[in-house]
Chain A
């Protein structure tokens, strides 16, 4: 039964990805200008030469033909050809995806690690000044645009010198041994990680808090308290599993957004992940790179959703009955 459900969802997921690819292709096709338009402003290059280069890359062929070529290339694992980098998109993406995953997974872990106790405590101490202070803090963090937050962190890094101002590794670190390199990378990871975690934490805290509050107000908790079970046990052993339901879908969402959440952070703090690649690709109209990155992130998103639904299925027997 579960297998049928999984199969059905997988089919849906594939269809979704195909739809996204067509949509992104079409949207990028719609936007005026292509990669070689930048060269047109150079008075020393003739339009003829540019047209020649353009046709060599197949940019003047019709939409369907190009989509077909791209599809074939995907099946071969190349994911298309990047005009800007003059190489297949696949290798470009894998390296950077690894860096992005490193950043986002650490940040997500950090965020959950911070948000869980704060959310639970806030739910327990509901209505007190501590809870209200938490509320103000999370709202304040929510209102500040992410871009601004990252810029401030950058400013902090430069002015105080406590953090490196960007990049993933220091210059002299390359020839060193594994552990020194790992320490160096970790040091560079700190700032973007903190920045990203700060954008995830407020919403998480709010969700955890409301889920816990709802769980704590249900009758069986009152019964448990009535039985004399100590408060901490009530919290962790009784309320948390019930509150876990919405939290699991949240976790699924977190996994889903692992490749897309960090775009801004990577661009501002020069972390060599998918973010700068995507942004540069969009501005340079490097079509296949953009689509490759979009597809990869969408793939993650769909996988994350599926994971969340499966976990829900496993965790909550009520869902299985439906």
Chain B
């Protein structure tokens, strides 16, 4: 496949997944916070096409679950009443992009049936819905943090590379400092200082800001490297000879050279920051209950009992793999495309 096609395929895949997540309200059968206290840790609902009489139904259906009164967590399938999967059902209200309210969901079952395609968590909340809603937070965090990081990286790396001398030295030592501290554990300390009245969205923004600010070191070094070599190029020297100001040189000639590195870095950093958000929330530092994020979905796996008894709690981690693969493919494709240009 040619470079352009590879890039296009990766971007299309990414766009597909992102739109699923963007319209989580529509694609998810339930809200991310709806608890069902009778069905904690319910296994993924099995779709049946053949009923008890071996008759084939074109429309798949599910059975309800009966919880065992004695053993909490043990379920028996209740074959009395099948619930068929309906498309475009009326469900819990949700907001599209925070503005329009709607009630139609892509699929669902009639109450009191519950369809948990990825199982349910300890409070009986649907994992699939939480995965889609959680993606909104995690992906957005990754995107913003990556953008912040790269912007800072361009600013500081560009300045360091362009001017050199003590500025370069100072910034590079600063970068080393940032890379050396064990941020994770000191973040615990900082979280504790934050005032109580911080709302969920503020926590989220803070998390993102911290990640972005901490992560500027690596892109800055790379960009500095490119700027160092770019500023010696002939056309830049020529422009300088013509009396161009530093700012003009920087913005018009040098920085555009870094576009390849910048784009590749963004494509690589987004999954890294998403993973960082996952790890931070996993360890208790991110968005709090009851908001869903991919980190909070996986955090219950920290307990040995969940890890060993409820295999479906791993599924969100499994689902992340194709998403990140798409990002890495895009990064590879971008690298190839810009490689041929920059020589």
The reply to whether B321 and A143 form a contact with Cβ atoms under 8 Å apart is yes
B298 touches A148 (CB 8 A): yes
The verdict on A30 contacting chain B, using a C-beta distance below 8 Å, is yes
Query: Are the C-beta atoms of A143 and B271 separated by less than 8 Å?
Result: yes
Question: Are B298's CB and A31's CB within 8 A?
Answer: no
Cross-chain contact B176 with A302 (CB below 8 angstroms): yes
Contact of A279 among B180, B185, B314, B323 (CB under 8 A): B185
Count CB-based A-B contacts (< 8 Å). Answer: 101
Check: A78 CB closer than 8 A to any chain B CB: no
Known: A139-B325, A260-B182. A19 touches B302 (CB 8 A): no
Interface residues on A, range: 35 or more
Given A145-B298, A151-B302, A151-B307: A20 in contact with B321 (beta carbons within 8 A): no
Among A101-156, those with CB < 8 Å from B are 135-136, 139-140, 142-148, 151-152, 154-155
Cβ contact within 8 Å between A28 and B182 = no
Q: Mark B316-328, 1 if CB is under 8 A from A, else 0.
A: 0100110111001
Q: Which residues of A contact B325 (CB under 8 A)?
A: 135-136, 139-140, 143
* A282 contacts partner chain B, Cβ-Cβ < 8 Å: yes
Tell whether A32 is near chain B: CB-to-CB under 8 Å. yes
Partner of A305, one of B176, B186, B193, B308: B176
Residues of B within 8 A of A23 (CB): 177, 181
Shortest distance from the beta carbon of B16 to any chain A beta carbon, whole Å: 18
Bound form: Cα–Cα A19–B174 in Å:
10
Segment 2-46 of A: residues with Cβ below 8 Å from B: 12, 15-16, 19-20, 23-24, 27-28, 30-33
B192 within 8 A of A: yes
How far apart sit A69 and B180, CA to CA, in the bound complex (Å)? 24
Select the stretch in A190-198, A222-230, A237-245, A293-301 that faces chain B: A293-301
> A278 at interface (Cβ–Cβ under 8 A)?
yes
1/0 contact string of B175-197 vs chain A (CB within 8 Å)? 01101111001101110110000
Q: Which residues of A contact B282 (CB under 8 A)?
A: 145, 147
Which residues from A are CB-within-8-Å of B278?
145
Known: A12-B173, A139-B328, A147-B282. 4 other contacts (CB 8 A): A28-B186, A135-B325, A145-B282, A159-B308
